[in-house]
Amino acid sequence: METQKLIIHFILLLLIPCSSSFTPIDNYLLNCGSQNNASLFNRIFMSDSTNQGSTFLSADKSISLINRNPHADLHTLYHTARVFPSTGSYKFSLRKNGTHFVRFHFSPFKAQGFDLTSANFSVLVDGNLVLTNFKPGSGALLKEFILKVGSNFLEIVFRPEGNLGFGFVNAMEVFTAPDDFVIDYGTRLVGPFGVVEYKNLSYQVLETIHRINVGGVKVTPFNDSLWRTWIPDEGFLVFKDAAKPVVSTHTPNYQKGGATREIAPDNVYMTAQEMNKDRSIIASQFNITWDFPVAPGGVRHLVRLHFSDIVSRALSLLYFDVYINGYSAYKDLDLSSLAFHVLASPVYVDFVTDSDDLGVIRISVSPSELSSSRGMNAILNGAEVMKLVNVVDSHVVHRKKRLWVLLVGSIVGGVVILLLVIAAFLLALKCRKKKKKPKQRAVENVGWTPLRFYGGSSLSRLSEGTALNSPGSYGYFGLRIPFADIQSATNNFDRSLIIGTGGFGMVYKGVLKDNVKVAVKRGMPGSRQGLPEFQTEITILSKIRHRHLVSLVGYCEENSEMILVYEYVEKGPLKKHLYGSGRNEPLSWKQRLEICIGAARGLHYLHTGFARGIIHRDIKSTNILLDENHVAKVADFGLSRSGPCIDETHVSTGVKGSFGYLDPEYFRRQQLTDKSDVYSFGVVLFEVLCARPAVDPQLDREQVNLAEWALAWQKKGMLEHIIDPYLVGKIKQSSLKKFGETAEKCLAEYGVDRPTIGAVLWNLEYALQLQETDQEGESYDDSSALEPVNVTTTIIPEGPSCNIRREGDNDNGYSDMSATEVFSQLMNTEGR
């Protein structure tokens, strides 16, 4: 017998690590009011009244109630109940504090003079009032709460309400949630004010209201590692015809940092609703919309949306917008970037919003204006709606607990006072030191928030470790990188690793501990751009991540160093691939168009995305980098400034930017708008087409300035005479025409006459489409393209004087000579 037992144990031990399912550290399942164990979905609910069970039950004047005539279909778990005629409680000791699931099973019956449907009671979990004057209906009901427990025990109190009230419960579950099930960063608070970050979500008590497997079938606790039930979405769809269910046969490609099976099971990520393209031609219904009934009147809810791109055949085809209660909640959601550039890899995004007066939360997805006409689609795989339980009743905390707190308080208090004295002393010392180093102090005052973006919750997990590929070493505030790590990454700033110089300082190539290649920008003490740029860059970059924007990996501000660490972009600046000694294999026209489209997308995100209204201010071919697949990434936000406020139309600021790319209007009037970026982008477009620098002082006077020169040819309708010789005969007439017109419009003298970057993006995609369609020379419908602009004679800023460094001289690209430098030179020469 003993050996048999041993063998079984051994087998069990072998099995446990193999099973990928989640095992909670604390896992209490109680069959309340029963002497027996009951099994539900392969889980054993233990009696709450036997020896081991009763250790949970305290203040026991409760009654075990047994239904002698249960309905044949009713599970044995619901044949018994524990009834509380007076206040009673359960206490659970926890091996791990933190976020827990607490579930109550209610299934009223009549027995021994009790009619459980007439119960009236409140429930407190860890001092939080989660159910108030609660009266379960007649059917079975599961109530689920998710909350953070701070201590190593959890108390659940049942408190009868009213004269004849009593409490009851049939079964209970208390178990540890997976790590990071609810996280504090990246949640988007959505409302009439727009989208802002919602902090400290994990400190809220959540009550599950809806859990939906969109486009799929019901998922039972059997198939869910947290024993949840997910129901189909059909009943919630507003226009059924707008949606079409999709099912994938492949298991999801779970990525480190993304969603996990515990966030939602395979079944949820393997099904979705997509746009029913046959029907949705009716423009007014170009939305898939679900209405979820919730508590009315501005009650705050968490909306967790699950996504996995199971509809696209390739990456970067799917861009869609998410609306919650009619408010834009996530614009231009790019599932490829969000999901680590892997198809069918699950992610989720958390939103917090208030219910409307009718008690509805309305969720819509619709194709973004960024999606190409072929890729127009929008999807949703799963949705969870949870109420943020308003914790109001605090006087009910048990007196015992209060005493405890008092006792602990006085002990802790003494220690705290001691610590405070020490802290004050240290602070005084530090302040004295800091007075000598005011710079460092200023850096510490930067309103620092960890990298997150787009507010994607999976992304926050990503940014807090895995994406930076260093969960342990850099921890939750993963962006701060120790100076020592940067030293070793760059071989102590080895000069042979320098890949660029700029106003800010040197740029080194480096490899972090975890083999992540990075570009390390080290600010020189007293560097020209200096501290304000460093702070701007951190503040802005911390808010932004996009496939077409170079992302910040971390920063360092130790030893009065100012260091920014970026992702390393393999193929370097676009400029290097266009002309000069660095150019190896010329880029094809299609590649160039795709690069311009990518850069326009990045810029469009800056102008209109989550971080809304950022003007880059220094768009040029050296600030557009190419990765190993020639995907364009816009770099160097060091000169960025937040865009205009609502009541202002421009930002007035000192002239910055690079010569040859500078908006003439900005130059004259010192007024900066997003249209200044559009101008610079127009110069880049001609640079890409003509493969020559924006400014080349060695050329004849009329050719020095590319914008001026190319515009002249464009207006003559003879642009093909000045294109990159390599491209001659390779561009279709219609594509070139569209491209030339687009660039021309970008270079309109007045900002108001220039298109938005979104329109530029659209036109570039059109140019690409024209290049790719077979019918050469076919006239195209221009109605949806840019409004024709009457371009008057363009006044280009004064040609450069000869002492300006030639644009092509500096090959590094991470930062070029900035206009501040140029202008100071100009002013010096002109002043004479």
Distance between start and end Cα atoms, the chain:
104
Chain-centroid distance of CA 373 in Å reads 25
Binding range to ligand NAG, per CB under 6 A, among 15-23, 158-166, 298-306, 630-638: 158-166
Pick 37 or 642: Cβ nearer ligand NAG: 37
Q: What are phi and psi of 822, to 5 degrees?
A: -60, -45
Pick 225 or 640: Cβ nearer ligand NAG: 225
Candidate list 55, 93, 200, 733; residue touching ligand NAG; CB under 6 A: 200
Please choose, from the candidates 610, 607, 615, the residue with its C-alpha nearest in 3D space to the C-alpha of residue 756. Answer: 607
In the bound complex, what is the minimum distance in angstroms from residue 283's beta carbon to ligand NAG?
A: 7
Pick 217 or 314: Cβ nearer ligand NAG: 217
DSSP secondary structure code for residue 660 in this structure: T
Query: How many other C-beta atoms are found inside a 10 Å radius of the C-beta of residue 610?
Result: 23
Please choose, from the candidates 720, 718, 693, 709, the residue with its C-alpha nearest in 3D space to the C-alpha of residue 747. Answer: 709
- Residue 468 near residue 474, CB atoms below 8 Å: yes
Range list of β-strands (E), 135-228? 141-149, 153-160, 167-169, 171-176, 187-191, 194-198, 205-213
Contacts of 386 (CB under 8 A, 6+ apart): 146, 206, 207, 208, 209, 301, 302, 304
Instruction: Rule CB under 6 A: say whether 821 interacts with ligand NAG.
Output: no
Binding range to ligand NAG, per CB under 6 A, among 43-51, 175-183, 292-300, 631-639: 43-51
Block residue for tokens 């701070």:
150
Pick 161 or 627: Cβ nearer ligand NAG: 161
Q: Specify the 3-state DSSP secondary structure of 614.
A: strand
In the bound complex, what is the minimum distance in angstroms from residue 770's beta carbon to ligand NAG?
A: 26
Each residue 249-288 as x (binds ligand NAG by CB under 6 A) or -, in order, gives ------------------x------------------xx-
Please choose, from the candidates 259, 267, 416, 269, the residue with its C-alpha nearest in 3D space to the C-alpha of residue 338. Answer: 259
Q: Where in 320-349 is the site for ligand NAG (CB under 6 A)?
A: 323, 326
Instruction: Rule CB under 6 A: say whether 222 interacts with ligand NAG.
Output: yes
Binding range to ligand NAG, per CB under 6 A, among 7-15, 149-157, 532-540, 751-759: 149-157
- From residue 153, how far is each of 149, 150, 677, 756 by CA, in Å? 8, 8, 58, 58
Question: How would you label 726-745 residue by residue, b for 16+ Cβ within 10 Å and e otherwise?
Answer: ebeeebbebbbbbbbbbbbb
Instruction: Rule CB under 6 A: say whether 653 interacts with ligand NAG.
Output: no
Please choose, from the candidates 85, 56, 304, the residue with its C-alpha nearest in 3D space to the C-alpha of residue 198. Answer: 304
521 annotated as a binding-site residue = yes
Q: Specify the 3-state DSSP secondary structure of 715.
A: helix
Pick 273 or 366: Cβ nearer ligand NAG: 366
Candidate list 24, 88, 136, 165; residue touching ligand NAG; CB under 6 A: 165
Candidate list 117, 152, 652, 733; residue touching ligand NAG; CB under 6 A: 152
Candidate list 55, 117, 151, 251; residue touching ligand NAG; CB under 6 A: 151
Pick 47 or 714: Cβ nearer ligand NAG: 47
In the bound complex, what is the minimum distance in angstroms from residue 217's beta carbon to ligand NAG?
A: 6
In the bound complex, what is the minimum distance in angstroms from residue 354's beta carbon to ligand NAG?
A: 16
Instruction: Rule CB under 6 A: say whether 194 interacts with ligand NAG.
Output: no
Q: Decide: residue 197, CB within 10 A, 0-12 exposed, 13-18 middle, 19+ buried.
A: middle
Q: Specify the 3-state DSSP secondary structure of 405.
A: helix
Rounded CA separation 472/826 (Å): 51
Of 26, 48, 321, 618, which one is the catalytic site residue? 618
Residue with the shortest CB distance to ligand NAG: 162
DSSP character string of 727-763: GTTTS-HHHHHHHHHHHHHHT-SSGGGSPPHHHHHHH
For residue 618, indicate whether it is catalytic. Answer: yes
Instruction: Rule CB under 6 A: say whether 291 interacts with ligand NAG.
Output: no
- H-helix or E-strand containing 684? helix 674-690
Q: And the tokens for 582?
A: 């660095």
Task: Say how many residues touch ligand NAG, by CB under 6 A.
Answer: 28
Q: Which amino acid is at 82?
A: R
Pick 91 or 730: Cβ nearer ligand NAG: 91
In the bound complex, what is the minimum distance in angstroms from residue 163's beta carbon to ligand NAG?
A: 7
Each residue 445-484 as x (binds ligand NAG by CB under 6 A) or -, in order, gives ----------------------------------------
Contacts of 783 (CB under 8 A, 6+ apart): none
Query: How many other C-beta atoms are found inside a 10 Å radius of the C-beta of residue 74?
Result: 13
Each residue 350-389 as x (binds ligand NAG by CB under 6 A) or -, in order, gives --------------x-x-----------------------
Each residue 47-86 as x (binds ligand NAG by CB under 6 A) or -, in order, gives x---------------------------------------
DSSP secondary structure code for residue 237 in this structure: B
Instruction: Rule CB under 6 A: say whether 223 interacts with ligand NAG.
Output: yes
Pick 287 or 460: Cβ nearer ligand NAG: 287
Instruction: Rule CB under 6 A: say whether 120 interacts with ligand NAG.
Output: yes
Rounded CA separation 333/349 (Å): 10
Query: How many other C-beta atoms are found inside a 10 Å radius of the C-beta of residue 463?
Result: 26
Please choose, from the candidates 552, 633, 337, 568, the residue with its C-alpha nearest in 3D space to the C-alpha of residue 459. Answer: 337
Candidate list 133, 390, 652, 792; residue touching ligand NAG; CB under 6 A: 133
In the bound complex, what is the minimum distance in angstroms from residue 329's beta carbon to ligand NAG?
A: 10
- State the number of CA atoms in the 13 A half-sphere of 493 facing the CB: 12
Binding range to ligand NAG, per CB under 6 A, among 215-223, 378-386, 469-477, 599-607: 215-223
Instruction: Rule CB under 6 A: say whether 409 interacts with ligand NAG.
Output: no
Catalytic positions, please? 618
> Which residues of this chain interact with ligand NAG, rule CB under 6 A?
36-37, 44, 46-47, 97, 120, 133, 135, 150-152, 161-162, 165, 199-200, 203, 217, 222-223, 267, 286-287, 323, 326, 364, 366
Residues placed in the known binding site for ATP: 521
Residues placed in the known binding site: 521
